[in-house]
Amino acid sequence: MDYSQHPLKTFITYISRQKKLFWIDMICATLVAVIDLVFPYVSRLSMSRLLPEKLFATFFAVMGIMILAYVIKAGLYYVITVLGHKMGVLTEADMRRDLFTHMQELSCGFYDKNRTGVLLSRVTSDLFEVTELAHHGPENVIICSLTILGALIVMFTMRWELALVLSVVLPLSLWFTISQRRRMKTANIEVKRKTAQITAAIESSISGVRTSKAFANEDLEAGKFDEANAVFKGAKVEYYRSMGLYMSGMEFTTGVMQVLVITVGGLLIMAGRMDYVDLVTFTLYVSTFVSPLRKLVMFAEQYMQGSAGFSRFLEIMRTEPEIRDKPDAIELGSIQGRVDLNDVSFHYDNGVPVLSHIDLHIPAGGCYAVVGPSGGGKTTMCQLIPRFYDVCGGSITVDGTDIRDVTQKSLRRNIGILQQDVFMFAGTIRENIRYGKPDATDEEIVEAAKLAEIHEEIMALPEGYDSYIGERGVMLSGGQKQRISIARVFLKNPKVLILDEATSALDTVTEQRIQAALDKLSVGRTSIIIAHRLSTVRHADCIAVVEGEHIIELGSHRELMEKNGAYAALCRAQQLSDGGEIC
């Protein structure tokens, strides 16, 4: 879908996906408008002819037909309410699916700049209000337009003088509505921004509740929320000021219409040019005319909320991924695992260089380690390999193929990543391990767990593999989460393995157990290890020391120790810190 087109066209495109429900809703809305227009005419017929001519049988028959018509109208409103809301829900679901899918395609840089709570608000509350707009928008436009237009036509055929009075007032009402619409929409978008900020504050506080409790900072978190809530209240009050001005103006316009009709009608009766029956009938038509105007006034708030939500929806849908597959990108099939960084340079959006002219050539099945001080670019280098970010200069190849020439999915299928901060999905252990291979059998899951040396601990739990682990795996220890993540990678079975500080947050005993699992995992794979704890990289075929954007040393542990440079200095410093022998 082309989201750069006019928002109304995009909105209509979504509604058109529910054509059957849409047309049923519109037909019912049209019939409702017709029934509303018939009643004043029937009233005039009864007062001017049926009752004066004592056609009582016909009068009661007509009244019976009108009662039946209103029974039908009630049934039509039931259909409009049920099917119309169903159409709105399906439209909202389509938008939410497209939004979520698009967000999955956006690059890591997008998530670096946007808070989780704000994005959550975009996917949930913003689109909820679009449901009501999708339902009531077309329906109210049809009912109100037909009723207003039909009432005007009938009134002009009855008394053009009185109809002309309404025709003068109506444009003033439309002008006022249009002039206030932009102000209300701007105010409502601001309300949604502040709502998203509150959602982000709540999400952050709930996610960090253990930290806030550990520091006894519950009052600080409450203060942050109160601050965001106060800003939200201010935005909401400003919106309702705009809404109040609009509502009061429309109430004045619709109210003065009836006064003007009675005034001009009274003058016509005084002049002998109109009788009381016509005035009563005309007054009924004015009520029929004013009712949809009032409905449009009430609908205005719903429209502003829905259109503001839709604008925020389009804002993300029009955001292009920073990293895209080439039109002619190829699928990366089975690989040997050779990785080459050729004169690679990289910087984030702030322009500050992170890596400059990096050359690193890792043979298939090789084990390379990347060490150095924090902030030196080690993690960034490894995030470039699965193409979470694109290089700013040079190239990265896998088996000689530039990773920009292959599809991102096929590239990442061949790469396994284990990080210090392991992410666990809220669910069971089985579901978290299966994430590495969604179609894996239970037997494959158990085998992966055994290889990761976590099977026995899982079986010791009351529900075994079906044990619920809580939000982010809060019910597991750090070592258990690490080994489940290792089992996940065993199941994925990639040819390239990136270990980003995978054991640095663990105690020595747990680290040794996990290191044994990692050693098994690394067999037959190209392994790239990022580590601060140098005891874990002594066995590496080659160690790259990254500092100040560059690789300043490269060689085996023995070679680098003999060189007595930066790596040897790191080793001695860590030896003194740990009080152990690592060199």
At residue 194, the pLDDT reads 75
The stretch 461-465 carries a mean pLDDT of 88
The secondary structure of residue 582, as a DSSP letter, is -
Most confident of 4-13, 255-264, 392-401: 392-401
Is residue 509's pLDDT more than 70?
A: no
Per DSSP bridges, beta strands 550-555 and 542-547 are: antiparallel
The stretch 47-62 carries a mean pLDDT of 83
Distance CA 559, CA 255 (A): 92
**CATH architecture assigned to 329-414+494-583:** 3-Layer(aba) Sandwich (3.40)
Q: Between these two residues, 376 and 214, which has the higher pLDDT value?
A: 376
- The CA–CA distances, whole Å, from 316 to 119, 203, 309, 390 equal 9, 20, 11, 21
Collect all residues with Cβ–Cβ distance below 8 Å to 531 and sequence separation of at least 6: 369, 370, 371, 499, 501, 504, 537
Q: Do domains 329-414+494-583 and 420-490 have the same CATH topology?
A: yes
SS3 583: coil
Of 449, 436, 452, the residue nearest 514 (C-alpha):
452
What percent of the chain shows pLDDT beyond 90?
A: 10
Amino acid at 150: G
Condensed to tens digits (0 to 9), the pLDDT of residues 118-129 reads 787 777 777 777
Per DSSP bridges, beta strands 526-530 and 367-371 are: parallel
Residue 97: both structure tokens together: 């699916």
Distance CA 579, CA 583 (A): 12
At residue 187, the pLDDT reads 75
Is residue 276's pLDDT more than 80?
A: no
At residue 345, the pLDDT reads 92
- Sheet containing strand 526-530, edge to edge, reads 415-419, 496-500, 526-530, 367-371, 542-547, 550-555
At residue 404, the pLDDT reads 93
At residue 338, the pLDDT reads 92
Is residue 581's pLDDT more than 60?
A: no
What are the DSSP calls for 27-96, one per residue?
Answer: HHHHHHHHHHHHHHHHHHHIIIIITTTT-HHHHHHHHHHHHHHHHHHHHHHHHHHHHHHHHHHHHHHHHH
Helix (H) or strand (E) run with residue 530 in it:
strand 526-530
Rg of the chain in Å (alpha carbons): 35
Which residues partner with 113 through β-bridges? none
Confidence band, pLDDT 50/70/90 cuts, at residue 282: confident
Confidence band, pLDDT 50/70/90 cuts, at residue 297: low
The answer to whether the beta carbons of residues 247 and 239 sit under 8 Å apart is no
Which residues partner with 398 through β-bridges? 339, 401
First to last CA, the chain: 60
Of 169, 168, 183, 323, the residue nearest 239 (C-alpha):
183
Distance CA 536, CA 530 (A): 10
Is residue 448's pLDDT more than 80?
A: yes
Look-up: residue for tokens 């300043």?
552
The answer to whether the beta carbons of residues 40 and 147 sit under 8 Å apart is no
At residue 507, the pLDDT reads 59
What kind of fold does domain 420-490 have according to CATH? Rossmann fold (3.40.50)
Residue 229: other Cβ atoms inside 10 A: 15
Helix (H) or strand (E) run with residue 353 in it:
strand 353-362
Helix (H) or strand (E) run with residue 498 in it:
strand 496-500
Distance CA 138, CA 419 (A): 51
Distance CA 43, CA 48 (A): 9
| Secondary-structure class of domain 7-317 per CATH | mainly alpha
At residue 359, the pLDDT reads 92
At residue 341, the pLDDT reads 92
Is residue 577's pLDDT more than 70?
A: no
Q: What is the dihedral of CA 458, 462, 463, 464, to 10 degrees?
A: 20
Is residue 73's pLDDT more than 80?
A: yes
The answer to whether the beta carbons of residues 228 and 118 sit under 8 Å apart is no
- 100 by Cβ neighbours in 10 Å (0-12 / 13-18 / 19+) ranks as exposed
Is residue 158's pLDDT more than 90?
A: no
Mean pLDDT check: name the lowest of 142-146, 221-225, 574-578.
574-578
At residue 122, the pLDDT reads 77
Spell out the alpha helix ranges (H) of 208-348. Answer: 209-214, 218-270, 276-317
Q: Distance between alpha carbon 139 and the CA centroid of its chain, in Å?
A: 27
The answer to whether the beta carbons of residues 484 and 429 sit under 8 Å apart is yes
What percent of the chain shows pLDDT beyond 70?
A: 90
Q: Between these two residues, 355 and 292, which has the higher pLDDT value?
A: 355
Distance CA 397, CA 385 (A): 8
At residue 21, the pLDDT reads 87
Amino acid at 464: G
Helices and strands, counts by H and E, the chain: 19, 10
Distance CA 75, CA 300 (A): 26
What are the DSSP calls for 89-124, one per residue?
Answer: HHHHHHHHHHHHHHHHHS-HHHHHHS-HHHHHHHHT
| Helices 19-45, 125-158: crossing angle, 10 deg rounding | 30
At residue 68, the pLDDT reads 93
At residue 147, the pLDDT reads 77
Of 446, 420, 422, the residue nearest 433 (C-alpha):
446
| Helices 7-16, 19-45: crossing angle, 10 deg rounding | 100
Most confident of 218-222, 402-406, 544-548: 402-406
Residue 417: both structure tokens together: 């990543």
At residue 342, the pLDDT reads 93
Q: Which residues of 382-393 are buried (b: 16+ CB within 10 A; e: fewer)?
A: bbbbbbbbebbe
**Average predicted confidence (pLDDT) for the chain:** 81
The stretch 34-56 carries a mean pLDDT of 79
| Helices 276-317, 19-45: crossing angle, 10 deg rounding | 170
Distance CA 324, CA 8 (A): 28
At residue 178, the pLDDT reads 64
Residue 502: both structure tokens together: 């995978």
SS3 258: helix
At residue 521, the pLDDT reads 79
Confidence band, pLDDT 50/70/90 cuts, at residue 207: low
Confidence band, pLDDT 50/70/90 cuts, at residue 19: confident
Look-up: residue for tokens 């337009």?
145
Condensed to tens digits (0 to 9), the pLDDT of residues 299-332 reads 766 777 777 778 888 888 888 888 888 899 999 8
Residue 162: both structure tokens together: 């009185």
Confidence band, pLDDT 50/70/90 cuts, at residue 396: very high
Q: Between these two residues, 211 and 484, which has the higher pLDDT value?
A: 484
Amino acid at 427: G
> Which residue ranges make up each domain of the chain?
7-317, 329-414+494-583, 420-490
